[in-house]
């Protein structure tokens, strides 16, 4: 049944206007800054240039992009490796437990990002719980300084985005047609082989959705490297931040932001294609 | 999977490990907020003195007030805009991807990019930064989430009731008020509560659109500057209160949205 006419055009107008004026226009404006020259006292000179874009690919900054990509990729890998068994266990739990388990797996995701990151500073600092546990277990060396390192940044990212990956993989697993699994068993596939040949391939769209999400949010992250990296691990987000609030080079900051958006858009498009293809596959009668 | 499901001990272990990973850091932080000594190391007894210290800290109270004002204003605007958007998108005849993409974008755009874009935009128009600019900015992502929650409910909504109402001579406004609004109320409230928690927890966009000085500082900004300064039990107490509030609001939201779901 087609929904009735509710003056739909009129209803969407206020929100669309808000998003066009306060999201689309500012994003286009800042992107256009990428092609302008830097003003003497901050701001821009209205002279066209490609210098900022070229500078974003300068080896010095290309290295920051590569570091960010490496950190984001590792965070994605570990998040998926932890999330998959968890999502699988939730999907196999008794049906009435599933919503509750899922809710509590996702709950931390909606709470304050800064606080969740701070929780790790409390645990990992030189006088923190982890060092105290080690001491209690007989460790007699210098307290470990685990904070302000690349592993700490990766841990922070994994911790913060894990709930979403669990959610994404769980929703793929719960949509999986149980008859396919039964068919595999009936045809003599063991539990492991059924998982490897049926369950895992069919849940890959969920893995892709969760993975792309972690990667995109990690590569542009600014809070985690600032807090758990102690400012020693510059990622693109921190570089963009510096250009706007410290170096006052807005056009270069805009150019960096543009590269970030390009990476993000490319990944989301790839993921959308994967999802569409996978959707086509499972839609076919099994 | 029902026929192949066996009660799995391994599954239970996996879940216990993951939930420990997710909740132990938060539990430690909360526990230490009640620690009398104030050191992150040794437990010296239960005390509420750090909560008392918060109540006497004018900076924190000021930030909390600003956060509440921003959260309520952004929630009010985004609930109206997001609900209308959801109904409009769900009932329109001509399907187009442009508006869908626009409504989805705030959920995926990196917040640092949106933050610098808004800073550039406001300063190019010579708009003074402050609480109103934070509200305007928060409405962007808040309305996207309200839209998502309300649309999910509309997917199960039987529009023939709306048709009937129109056939019986009710105008658009009456139909909206008497039919759609009551049916959608739980989802609208759930969306509003979600928008509120997102707004009171949001840091980066607020940080860029608040302007210089302390007058428009919000709680997350306050927490950020305290964390950078070091670990203090006062931050633990503040963090515990903020998380407790968010978790409560979210549980109400979840419960409302489940309550009448088909």
Query: B108 or A258: which carries more pLDDT confidence?
Result: A258
pLDDT score, position B58: 92
- Tell me which residue in A23, A110, A181 faces B1 most closely, judged by beta carbons: A181
Give A216's contacts in chain B (Cβ within 8 Å). Answer: 108, 110
Please, which residues 71-110 of chain A have a Cβ atom closer than 8 Å to chain B?
82, 85-86, 88-93, 99, 101, 103-105, 107-108, 110
Q: Which residue of B has its CA nearest to A162?
A: B22
Give the pLDDT band (50/70/90) at residue B41. low
Q: Which residue of A has its CA nearest to B122?
A: A26
User: Tens of pLDDT along A248-280?
Assistant: 888 999 999 888 888 888 888 888 887 777 665
User: Tens of pLDDT along B166-222?
Assistant: 888 888 888 888 888 888 999 999 999 999 999 999 999 999 999 888 889 999 999
Q: What pTM, to 2 d.p., does this model score?
A: 0.87
Size of interface A-B (CB pairs under 8 A): 270
Query: A188 or B139: which carries more pLDDT confidence?
Result: B139
Reply yes or no on domain B51-259 having CATH 1.10.3720.10. Answer: yes
pLDDT score, position B164: 86
Give the pLDDT band (50/70/90) at residue A286. very low
ipTM of the complex in this document: 0.89
**Cβ–Cβ of A123/B18 closer than 8 Å?**
no
pLDDT score, position A139: 82
A145 in B contact zone (CB under 8 Å):
no
A81, A163 Cβ separation under 8 angstroms: no
- Tell me which residue in A11, A103, A120 faces B254 most closely, judged by beta carbons: A103
pLDDT score, position B221: 94
User: Tens of pLDDT along A76-132?
Assistant: 999 999 999 999 999 988 888 999 999 999 988 888 899 999 999 988 888 788 888
Give the pLDDT band (50/70/90) at residue B262. very low
Determine phi and psi for A274, rounding to 5 degrees.
-60, -45
In chain A, where the domains are located? 58-283
CATH superfamily of the domain spanning A58-283: MetI-like (1.10.3720.10)
B29, A122 Cβ separation under 8 angstroms: yes
């Amino acid at each position: 049944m087609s929904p009735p006419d509710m003056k739909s055009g009129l209803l969407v107008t206020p929100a669309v206007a808000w998003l066009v004026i306060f999201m689309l226009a500012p994003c286009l404006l800042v992107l256009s800054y990428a092609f302008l020259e830097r003003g003497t006292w901050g701001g821009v000179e209205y002279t066209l240039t490609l210098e900022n874009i070229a500078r974003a690919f300068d080896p010095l900054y290309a290295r920051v992009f590569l570091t960010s990509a490496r950190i984001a990729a590792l965070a994605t890998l570990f998040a998926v490796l932890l999330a998959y068994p968890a999502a699988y266990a939730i999907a196999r739990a008794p049906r009435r437990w599933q919503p509750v388990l899922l809710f509590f797996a996702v709950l931390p995701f909606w709470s304050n990002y800064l606080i969740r990151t701070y929780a790790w500073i409390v645990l990992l600092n030189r006088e923190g719980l982890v060092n105290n546990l080690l001491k209690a277990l007989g460790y007699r060396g210098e307290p470990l300084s685990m904070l302000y390192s690349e592993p700490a940044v990766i841990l922070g990212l994994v911790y913060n985005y894990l709930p979403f990956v669990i959610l994404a993989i769980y929703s793929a697993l719960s949509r999986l047609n149980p008859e396919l699994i039964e068919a595999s068993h009936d045809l003599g596939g063991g539990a492991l082989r059924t998982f490897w040949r049926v369950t895992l391939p069919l849940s890959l769209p969920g893995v892709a959705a969760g993975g792309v999400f972690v990667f995109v949010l990690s590569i542009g992250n600014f809070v985690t490297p600032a807090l758990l990296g102690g400012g020693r691990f510059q990622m693109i987000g921190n570089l963009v931040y510096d250009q706007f609030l410290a170096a006052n080079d807005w056009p270069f900051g805009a150019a960096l932001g543009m590269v970030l958006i390009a990476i993000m858009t490319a990944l989301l498009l790839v993921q959308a294609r994967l999802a569409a293809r996978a959707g086509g596959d499972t839609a076919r009668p099994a | 999977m029902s026929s192949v499901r066996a009660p799995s001990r391994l599954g239970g272990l996996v879940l216990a490990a993951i939930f420990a990973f997710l909740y132990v850091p938060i539990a430690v932080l909360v526990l230490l907020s009640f620690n009398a000594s104030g050191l992150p190391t040794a437990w010296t007894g239960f005390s509420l003195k750090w909560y008392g210290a918060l109540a006497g800290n004018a900076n924190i109270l000021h930030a909390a007030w600003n956060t509440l004002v921003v959260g309520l204003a952004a929630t009010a605007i985004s609930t109206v805009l997001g609900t209308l958007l959801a109904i409009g998108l769900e009932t329109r005849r001509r399907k187009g991807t442009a508006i869908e993409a626009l409504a989805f974008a705030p959920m995926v755009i990196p917040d640092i990019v949106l933050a610098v874009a808004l800073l550039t935009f406001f300063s190019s128009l010579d708009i003074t930064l402050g609480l109103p600019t934070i509200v305007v900015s928060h409405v962007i992502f808040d309305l996207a989430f309200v839209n998502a929650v309300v649309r999910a409910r509309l997917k199960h909504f039987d529009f023939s009731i709306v048709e009937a109402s129109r056939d019986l001579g009710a105008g658009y406004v009456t139909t909206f008020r008497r039919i759609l609004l009551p049916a959608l109320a739980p989802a609208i409230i759930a969306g509003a509560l979600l928008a509120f928690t997102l707004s009171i927890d949001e840091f980066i966009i607020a940080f860029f659109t608040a302007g210089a000085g302390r007058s428009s500082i919000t709680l997350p900004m306050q927490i950020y500057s305290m964390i950078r300064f070091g670990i203090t039990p006062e931050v633990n107490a503040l963090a515990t209160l903020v998380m407790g509030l968010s978790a409560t609001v979210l549980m109400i939201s979840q419960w409302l949205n489940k309550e009448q779901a088909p």
